[in-house]
Chains A and B, each alone.
Chain A
């Protein structure tokens, strides 16, 4: 700030600088937001009578958390949970196995251009498609049951793991890889000793994280018939058995929390 503007500002009160500096952009953004909100609120129909009736039911649901019913549908819950866990584990393993070659192929510094493009397309496709939509298609093709869920989760894991693995490979330390190459190693040895040790900690961390995500997703795949605890949950909602639903939700939350805790410990250990 030059001294003349400082001079002019003397005596006036200090004001907080705005987040968006240009006033035109700022007012255009504010105006646009207001117009949008007006339109959006007008297009949403809320049946307040229905909502107020629902609040009673909502309260019943919340109070059901105080007395969750684990027992009366105990076997259903147990089978659903086992199926969810099985789908999670199997799909994470298969997802990792497939995503390693694709991740290698999607890293620009070690893959030739045609392979790079093919792998990037697979990654983009897998990331853009929502799990539920994939699950619907898989159920249509492979029939109801955990196989559809397993394929869906494996497919979703590939996009996630390959992308992050490829990014990690792309910014690895070239010197180590070069040193291995200088010993006259084959391509496989180069990957195994030059590149794998550098990305391994992160790969383990990401795999644990993906295990966590896959479990969460497996809890909803049952809604479209792809196996897991979701089907049991859906049924209990449909029958207004909120105490069973609360029990299932509590189990899901506890499992997710413990998985998160476990993956936190493992990640802290390997990194």
Chain B
């Protein structure tokens, strides 16, 4: 235990000894300088006149946005349905693709740990690290604007997420059950269906609902790049500076997000 002794001979307890303390201060200094440098760069790239003007602009926008244009809601049911479809069908499509990837990536089910597993992991990492908005941007350029591009974007983005959680679940299964099925003389596929699948089914259901909830959030903004859903209306209203419509759309999105989170929490609570 490090004890500091002053010149008067008084002993005080300290949490760390001198070297550890110095090291920590050094780390702090490095951290603070990095942060200050970053802040300096941001500040140089900023037009501060606009920032000082911000409170006035903000109150101006709020005053234009209030009250929200409630009558506009009639035009939002269609896009909202599209958004819901993008999220739901996108999740379904993602799961269809994620299941084989997960089985190929899990250490205990992969046919070849040397060749197939790295490939499956690569698919997982690359689909996961690119945001769905970028996928949407790309797909709009490739297959044209519309709900379909959004759906595919959501599906691709979700593969990595679902496959990662699923293959972790597969790796954690109880091997004695698999052994028992194998001992009855079951084929490879029968072992899969009767030994592995029942064990990961709850995890699978939980993951799909969890991802569905995230996808509802993400699909609300896909329209900004032209991939359908309520984001298209948001983009249109923003471009025409119709802040009362923007306010209404934001309220609708907020409600949709809260409802989907509630549904997902309920379903996961029922499964687990």
- Name A's B-contacting residues (CB within 8 A): 16, 19, 36, 40, 43-47, 50-51, 54-55, 57-58, 61, 82-83, 86-87, 89-90, 93, 128-130, 132-133, 136-137, 140-143, 145-147, 150, 216-217, 219-220, 223-224, 227, 230, 233-234, 237-238, 240, 245, 249, 252-253, 256-257, 260
Contacts and interface: CB of A to CB of B under 8 A. Distances in A.
Interface of B: 31, 34-35, 38-39, 41-43, 45-47, 50-51, 54, 57-58, 61, 81-82, 85, 88-89, 125-126, 129-131, 133-134, 137-138, 141-144, 146-148, 151, 194, 198, 201, 217-218, 220-221, 224-225, 234, 238, 250, 253-254, 257-258
B97 to A, nearest CB: 16
**Max chain B C-beta neighbours (<10 A), residue from A44, A234, A252, A257:** A44
Given A87-B42, A89-B35, A150-B42, A223 B224 contact: yes
A132 B61 contact: no
A115 to B, nearest CB: 23
B201 A217 contact: no
B142 A54 contact: yes
Contacts of A58: 142-143
A198 to B, nearest CB: 14
B49 to A, nearest CB: 9
6 contacts: A16-B194, A46-B146, A54-B142, A87-B42, A132-B224, A249-B134
Interface of A is mostly: helix
Contacts of A19: 201
B137 A143 contact: no
B38 A132 contact: no
Given A130-B253, A141-B57, A146 B137 contact: no
Contacts of A82: 41
Contacts of B39: 90
Given A93-B35, A130-B217, A146-B46, A43 B82 contact: yes
Nearest to A40: B85
B93 to A, nearest CB: 12
Given A130-B217, A256-B125, 11 more contacts: A46-B146, A51-B144, A58-B142, A86-B38, A133-B221, A136-B224, A141-B54, A142-B50, A145-B45, A147-B51, A257-B129
B34 A216 contact: no
**Max chain A C-beta neighbours (<10 A), residue from B35, B47, B143, B194:** B143
Contact of B51 (A40, A50, A61, A143): A143
A50 B130 CA distance: 25
Given A89-B34, A141-B57, A217-B131, A128 B142 contact: no
In the A-B complex, the 10 residue pairs with the smallest Cβ-Cβ separation, listed nearest first, are: A143-B50, A256-B129, A54-B143, A90-B38, A50-B144, A147-B46, A58-B142, A54-B142, A86-B38, A132-B221
Nearest to A193: B15
Nearest to B150: A44
A19 to B, nearest CB: 6
Nearest to A57: B142
A150 B143 CA distance: 33
B143 A44 contact: no
Given A130-B217, A223-B224, A86 B129 contact: no
A253 B224 contact: no
Nearest to B249: A133
B42 A61 contact: no
A184 B29 CA distance: 32
Given A43-B82, A141-B61, A223-B225, A216 B131 contact: yes
Given A133-B221, A224-B224, A140 B57 contact: yes
A131 to B, nearest CB: 9
Contacts of A83: 41, 45
Contacts of B46: 142-143, 145-147
Contacts of A130: 217-218, 220-221, 253, 257
Contact of A47 (B138, B146, B258): B146
Contacts of B81: 43
A201 to B, nearest CB: 16
B253 A253 contact: no
**Max chain A C-beta neighbours (<10 A), residue from B34, B131, B144:** B131
A240 B54 contact: no
A44 B147 contact: yes
Given A47-B144, A223-B224, A143 B47 contact: yes
Given A136-B238, A142-B54, A253 B125 contact: yes
A54 B85 contact: no
Contact of B129 (A61, A216, A245): A216
A220 B218 CA distance: 12
